[in-house]
Amino acid sequence: MNSCGSTPSKRRDRLYIIAEILEIAKEGALKTQIMYRANLSFTQLRDYLKFMLKINLLEKIVKNNKEIYKATEKGMDFLQRHREMTELLRTENTNSNKNNVKIPPTHLLREIKM
């Protein structure tokens, strides 16, 4: 099992990865922290950060010559809605998930406080 809670043979979809990045960056995180905790290559991370900054899900804050990425209010809203949609799609028994919906790990499903 990898860090995202799924078996290695299962792929994470784009929305799942965005939600994972936002969860990591809720309080602010460095690029390397996001890369390792989300299990992304540097190229993948760069592409996700560029996209998420462009659509205002993340903001980049320079503090002590370090770039810190933090989820914006829009990003937190996305994370909350992603959690709600995942809950709607969750089956009673997640071990026998017949509709092939990828359920994020529980740390991404906890209640978001703003």
Per-residue pLDDT of the chain (114 residues; tens, 9 = 90+): 344 444 444 678 999 999 999 999 999 999 999 999 999 999 999 999 999 999 999 999 999 999 999 999 999 999 999 999 988 888 655 555 555 666 666 666 655 554
- The C-alpha atoms of residue 91 and residue 110 are separated, in whole angstroms, by 17
Output the pLDDT for position 99: 57
Output the pLDDT for position 90: 81
What angle is formed at CA 111 by the lines to CA 30 and CA 73, rounded to 5 degrees? 50
Phi, psi of 71 (to 5 degrees): -65, 135
| CATH numbers and ranges of domains, the chain | 14-101 (1.10.10.10)
- Are residues 103 and 94 in contact, defined by beta-carbon separation less than 8 angstroms? yes
- The C-alpha atoms of residue 13 and residue 20 are separated, in whole angstroms, by 11
Output the pLDDT for position 41: 96
DSSP state at residue 12: P
- Are residues 30 and 80 in contact, defined by beta-carbon separation less than 8 angstroms? no
Output the pLDDT for position 113: 52
- Are residues 46 and 34 in contact, defined by beta-carbon separation less than 8 angstroms? no
Output the pLDDT for position 2: 42
- Are residues 32 and 42 in contact, defined by beta-carbon separation less than 8 angstroms? no
